Amino acid sequence: ACLSHCWGKKGAALQLTPDTVDTLRSGVARAELPKTFRDAAEIFEKLGIHFLWIDAMCIAQDNLEDWASAASVMADIYEGAYLTIAATSSNNSNGGCFSRFRNRIRDFGSGNTMTDWPLLRRGWVCQERRLSTRVIHYAKDQLFWECDTAFHSESDPQDWTSGDRGTLKNLHDDPGQSWRSLVEIYSRLKFTKKGDHLPALAGIVEREARRRKDDTYVAGMWRNTLLDDLGFSPSRRRVYIASVTS
């Protein structure tokens, strides 16, 4: 099983580094884990799942070789996971997964816009969602279920179609159109490091390559649809020019 989470502006509260490697190998008490990690461990324990993969603790953060190696097998990690838990409404590793509702009556109509969810604004999460077989989103006011064929909420058992959900799961029969729709969504997401844009697609590219066996990936595009893939323009903020009166 995997955890999808926001690291926060200062990075995850607990990471695999030369300073922490011995501590992590010898074992860390659950009480010492960041809250999001603790909550995820509790969820999986109750589900009877005994192995949890957390990127911050499983990839050496100060080792470029280990980082590159892990990035290249992201498809195997998330596709092979029985379940991915997403701390969707948490801004950092101490935000936790669980809701803190005190009211007995919940307002399901608020906070359900996907662009309002901190996790789904992260560039790396696009890949985590697309590759995962099934995801449970722990949002602000309810749980959401996402898989290859549906996206459901507690408040609405019908398919919850909103924002970018559909394109992430290959609704287009045409691989070229599906890829361009994905890139359009992906280009709006945020990265802490500017150089992460292409590496964060590595797992998706590997999966696409299985579908497009007669094609070749070229830095964000595909050779057989290169002309169509090049047909984009960057969005720029409009610059307001005040009118001049005399």
Is 166 a residue whose pLDDT tops 60?
no
DSSP 207-244: HHHHH-TT--EETTEEGGGHHHHT------PPPP----
**Per-residue pLDDT at 105:** 52
pTM, entire model: 0.81
Q: Note the pLDDT tens digit of each residue in 137-147.
A: 998 888 999 98
d(CA 66, CA 58) in angstroms, rounded, equals 10
Residue 183 CB-density burial (10 A; 0-12 exposed, 13-18 middle, 19+ buried): middle
Residue 187 placed within a domain: no
In a domain, 110, yes or no: yes
Domain-located, residue 150: yes
Express as a percent the part of the chain with pLDDT over 70: 80
Question: Would residue 103 count as lying in a domain?
Answer: yes
Q: Is 21 contained in some domain?
A: yes
Confidence tier at 235 by pLDDT (50, 70, 90): low
pLDDT of 24-61, one tens digit each? 888 888 889 999 999 999 999 999 999 999 998 888 88
Say how many domains are in the chain. Answer: 1
Q: At what angle do helices 202-211 and 175-186 cross, to 10 degrees?
A: 170
Average pLDDT on 240-246 reads: 52
Task: Place 172 in a pLDDT band, splitting at 50, 70 and 90.
Answer: low
Residue 89 has pLDDT above 70, yes or no: yes
Identify each DSSP E strand in the chain by its residue range.
2-4, 84-86, 134-138, 143-147, 151-153, 217-218, 221-222
Domain span including residue 52? 2-171
Q: 97-116: per-residue pLDDT in tens?
A: 987 665 545 555 544 556 67
Q: Between β-strands 151-153 and 84-86, what pairing exists: parallel, antiparallel or unpaired?
A: unpaired
Residue type at position 55: D
Looking at the chain, the number of H-run helices and the number of E-run strands are: 10, 7
**Rg of the chain, C-alpha, whole Å:** 20
Looking at the predicted structure, is the pLDDT value of residue 196 above 90?
Answer: no
pLDDT at 198 over 70: yes
| pLDDT (tens digit per residue) in 7-29 | 888 777 888 888 888 888 888 88
Classify residue 16: in a domain, yes or no.
yes
In a domain, 130, yes or no: yes
Question: Contact at 8 Å (CB) between 73 and 131?
Answer: no
Residue 158 belongs to a domain: yes
CB 133 within 8 A of CB 147: yes
Task: State the pLDDT at residue 175.
Answer: 82
